[in-house]
Amino acid sequence: MARLRNILVPAAVVLLAVPAVARPATAPTIVLIGGERQGADQGQHDFPNGVIKLERLIRASPDFARLNPVIRTYPGGFPRDPAEIDDASVVVLYQAPQGENRDGGSLFSPAARGQMDRLAARGVGLVALHQAMTVADAGQATATQNWLGASRAAGSGWSIEIAPVAVVGKAHPVAKGIGDFNHLDEYYAAIDFRSAGVTPILSARAHVQYRSGAPVYEDARPGVAAWAYERPGGGRSFGYAGGHFLSFLDQPQVRRMVLNAILWSSGHPVPEGGVSATLPEAPAPGVAPPPEPQLIVRAGSEVTVEKTPWGQLEWFAHRSLGNASHLTTGRATIRPGDANPPHWHPNCDEVLYVAQGRIMHRVGDKEYEMRAGDTVMIPEGTVHNARNIGTEDAVLMVSFNSADRVAIGE
């Protein structure tokens, strides 16, 4: 049975285990790097769930399946140990400006920046989505332009609207299978491009509604929204300024373009009709796709107990089990005197209900004594853990507002 990620996982998170089988020399290693959700409502700037969704799309693509790819996904940010992605064929970045993350997950931490330079020099493909190309200073701009052929200064003009989008790079492999469309997203008015090697793929006719956080209004004009870049020293890069809403990956044209770009940047040919994936698509701008088929009843006999050093875990509903698309539920049992390790969730809140026993629950920098019948809500991004201070097993019912719950150890 598919297993959910454990309560404690390392800061570098591999979401789905890849079978240890022989792979052809051409099989790409695809690295997906997200980051903490930053200052936006549900469904916006959802970088951790965005890379999880990208992984699902790649695994649901017959075109990628033929290549038998290795996929490594880091929802919480750049891996602490850069050597974990030494073998990357393509690195996909979906992050807040300057890759702002805790625990060294920032794209511009010394370790991450050094690894990005090494990968680019080796010809590894690079894909940047939404604010991953937004920079804070000239040094970051130079590095980002070397990697991606473009950068955007923080605070430059933007809008959120449904804009007409035209395919202007129709001859490029990344544009295969896509046509003009209307799309709800965030659009940038001031992207600084390299003078050579950049091929615009999409142009969006959008207004400027905000600049440096203040509302303004400027007439609509065309601007590059997606581009491909052939790096002078070798290697392919792609950038897409959209992706403010998690639903951008449900839009058929955008989804196909992003999947095309990952395949092209990894050095593989793009099929004539573009890359396909079997997950449902959105029928119109701002309209959610139809739900995926789900199990209605899952028998108790199917629950697998996961033994841990401190007790055990049981999962009742999440996406990998096939019976949820928006939540995770389970039960944790902690033995007397034991505790689960401190951890945090970059993509979901947690509600914990004490069904049996007594625990001391750390939430941030405070501790709370809890007994049977008590409930605690742990906000997304908050370090927490439970310690059994009673004489019997502590039984804790847990639920999360994501079907793809991620946990990162402190």
Max Cα-Cα span within the chain:
70
Identify the pLDDT of residue 97: 79
248 and 343 co-located in one domain: no
Instruction: Evaluate whether residue 283 is within a structural domain.
Output: no
174 and 306 co-located in one domain: no
pLDDT of 116 higher than 70: yes
- pLDDT tens-place string over residues 218-262: 888 899 999 999 999 899 999 999 999 999 999 999 999 999 999
Instruction: Evaluate whether residue 163 is within a structural domain.
Output: yes
Instruction: Evaluate whether residue 317 is within a structural domain.
Output: yes
Whether 134 contacts 145, CB under 8 Å: no
Whole-number mean pLDDT of the chain? 88
* H or E stretch at 142: helix 138-148
CATH number, domain of 196, equals 3.40.50.880
Instruction: Evaluate whether residue 285 is within a structural domain.
Output: no
Instruction: Evaluate whether residue 274 is within a structural domain.
Output: no
- pLDDT tens-place string over residues 25-82: 579 999 999 988 876 677 899 999 999 999 999 999 999 999 999 999 999 888 888 9
318 and 194 co-located in one domain: no
Inter-helix orientation angle 252-265/47-59, to 10°: 80
Q: What is the DSSP string of 321-363?
A: GTS-SS-EEEEEEE-TT-BPPPEE-SS--EEEEEEESEEEEEE
195 and 254 co-located in one domain: yes
- pLDDT tens-place string over residues 272-321: 999 999 999 988 887 878 888 788 898 988 888 999 999 999 999 998 89
203 and 156 co-located in one domain: yes
343 and 203 co-located in one domain: no
138 and 206 co-located in one domain: yes
Instruction: Evaluate whether residue 394 is within a structural domain.
Output: yes
316 and 261 co-located in one domain: no
Instruction: Evaluate whether residue 1 is within a structural domain.
Output: no
Whether 187 contacts 208, CB under 8 Å: no
320 and 227 co-located in one domain: no
Looking at 215, 245, 265, the residue that finishes a domain is: 265
Q: Partners of 93 in the beta sheet? A: 33, 128
Domain span including residue 139: 29-265
165 and 226 co-located in one domain: yes
Q: How far apart are CA 293 and CA 54, in angstroms?
A: 19
CATH number, domain of 377, equals 2.60.120.10
Domain count, the chain: 2
Q: Where are the beta strands (DSSP E) in 37-97?
A: 70-74, 90-94
Q: What is the three-state SS of 145-213? A: HHHHCEEEECCCCEEEEEEEEEECCCCCHHHCCCCCEEEEEEEECCEEECCCCEEEEEEEEEEEEEECC
155 and 37 co-located in one domain: yes
| pLDDT classification of 410: cutoffs 50, 70, 90 | low
Contacts of 202 (CB under 8 A, 6+ apart): 165, 166, 167, 168, 169, 224, 225, 226, 240, 257
- pLDDT tens-place string over residues 381-403: 899 999 999 999 999 999 999 99
